[in-house]
Amino acid sequence: MGTKHAIASPSLKNLRDPGGVDGPSAGQGLRPGIVFRSAAPTDPAIATDGVVAALNIGTVLDLRTSVESAEQPDQLPAGATLRTIDVLASSPTGAAVQQTRMLADPVRFAAELANFPAREAMEQTYRQLVSSESALLGYAEVLQTIIAEPDAPVLIHCTAGKDRTGWAIALLMSVAGNGDEAIYAEYLAVNEAVADLFAPLLHQLDAAGVDSAMVKVFFQVQRSYLEAAFDEVNVRFGGLNGYLTDGLGLSLDEIAALRRHLTGTD
pLDDT in tens, the chain (266 residues): 445 799 999 999 999 999 999 888 878 999 999 999 999 999 999 999 999 999 999 999 999 999 899 999 999 999 999 999 999 998 765 655 556 656 666 667 666 666 677 889 899 999 999 999 999 999 999 999 999 988 899 999 999 999 999 999 999 999 999 999 999 999 999 999 999 998 888 887 777 777 767 778 888 999 999 999 999 999 999 999 999 999 999 999 999 999 999 999 97
Closest CA to 102 of 13, 223, 204: 204
Write down the pLDDT at residue 217. Answer: 83
pLDDT for the residue 213: 73
Residue 50 Cα distances to 8, 46, 88, angstroms: 11, 8, 32
Q: Identify the pLDDT of residue 82.
A: 98
pLDDT of amino acid 216: 80
Helix-helix angle 252-263:164-176, to 10 degrees: 90
Would you state the pLDDT for residue 23?
83
Provide the pLDDT for residue 58. 98
Would you state the pLDDT for residue 250? 99
User: Which CATH superfamily groups domain 2-263?
Assistant: Protein tyrosine phosphatase superfamily (3.90.190.10)
State how far the Cα of 49 lies from the Cα of 235, in Å rounded to an integer: 44
The domain locations on the chain are: 2-263
Report CA torsion sign: 147, 231, 17, 84: positive
CB 98 within 8 A of CB 75: no
In this predicted structure, what is the pLDDT of residue 44? 97
Q: Which amino acid is at 41?
A: P
- Angle of CA points 87, 40, 23, to nearest 5°: 70
Rounded Cα distance between 198 and 48, Å, is 25
Q: What is the pLDDT of residue 26?
A: 79
* d(C-alpha 217, C-alpha 236), whole Å: 26
